[in-house]
Copies of this chain bind each other. A is one copy, B any other.
């Protein structure tokens, strides 16, 4: 694990460098046109670089990109200071009178704002400018101190793409320039190599070449069909999971893919989650759904018998196929799909057993990381936020703090490094998100462990504790091998399609060689 990852990206040096590079690029672009002709929209840092959206009199070309890069290096050489100024809405509007997109943003700020749960903000947000050289932007920062802190040999403009203002296809389409920026020339070189390598290892390209899966128009988008060669891989993953889960004393179960809506009303997924589900099927006056997750059906199996503390922990596992609705435009190979077969399990345990069970799950992750040679990963503990209680989160502040503390303690006692992130928990409890890095260093979201202290009660789950009293179990949701789709997508890139023998669709090929008999 890299220590650097422990600092949130938004507070890192790289973030400031990229944000500043975006401003520098915007200055260079506006200078290509007559004053006031180039309209600027927004230009944030992103995961590995930055972009800026422009509304321009003509389409930019790749030659423009070269000229812009050259001008950016001049601005960098000028070591111009980034200066912040807090202004009134009137001052801001006067400054940007020729810039309609900025005016729209300023008006939004003027109306105050709401946080993401719909609570009105106590104070109206501050309006501020950042200025360097001749360029001023509406901006909250942060930035480097001066343009000289952007390394002129560690940035590159990547490409030009179309993007709708505010992401809404009813708005005007703008021109977006993507760039990347790093601290050193070597980092840039590594990144460009990684991109090049990722292109060669693209799971969609290799998946087709290796005949691992196919998408078929008549079956539907986001619904992969695993061919015989791809099925070898997923059956090997299942055999691995079976062996590991058997050793860790899981009990496999098998459940239907279709259930009554009642089940998802009880679980709380309906109506809130309905837009992420396939639409209902109406049968004999009852609405049925294809399941978007396995947990509610596992809860029914737990609840189908009277349970004693002697039976616990009960660990129900199933490589269950779930169906979720993603918009066609958001589907991406195996990484963003509508059907996903998940290495799912639900562990029902008492509070006393929680730490051991939770750490056992973490240990399974680490077993898998060893097997697949994943040596870089990040575990992120996602916590609730008090403001979201009763909206985004189950409304029980005391239990949240208690459960979060249980997880924190378990991770600390187990010496597992992690970072904490506020306000990213699941609806029903804190979770650990696991990010892994492929052999070429690209980040993938693998899976999530969730602690669920709320839903078992909704399902009336209970066990008789050693005092002879009814007690509600905790539930841990886990999927260390992720979904087949995501895992195979990752492994194709990780191994560049050259799978280790145990995973390979073709382990041995006999090639007949004919040795010519000696003449005469």
Contact = CB atoms under 8 A, between A and B. Distances in A.
B258 A220 contact: yes
Contacts of A190: none
Interface residues of A, number: 55
B254 A234 contact: yes
Contacts of A290: 257-258, 281, 290
A211 B305 contact: yes
A66 B90 CA distance: 102
Nearest to A226: B254
Contacts of A259: 218-220, 223
> DSSP majority for the A interface?
mixed
A293 B35 CA distance: 66
B260 A300 contact: no
Interface string A254-289: 111111101100100000000000111111101010
Contacts of A220: 256, 258-260, 286, 288
B284 A281 contact: no
A231 B217 CA distance: 34
A187 interface: no
Contacts of A228: 251-253, 301, 316
Interface in A190-242: 211, 214, 216-220, 223-228, 230-232, 234-235
Given A214-B304, A262-B218, A339 B278 contact: no
Interface of A: 211, 214, 216-220, 223-228, 230-232, 234-235, 251-260, 262-263, 266, 278-284, 286, 288, 290, 297, 300-301, 304-305, 316, 321, 323, 325, 328, 338-339, 341, 484
Q: Which 3 A-B pairs have the closest CB atoms?
A: A228-B251, A226-B254, A223-B256
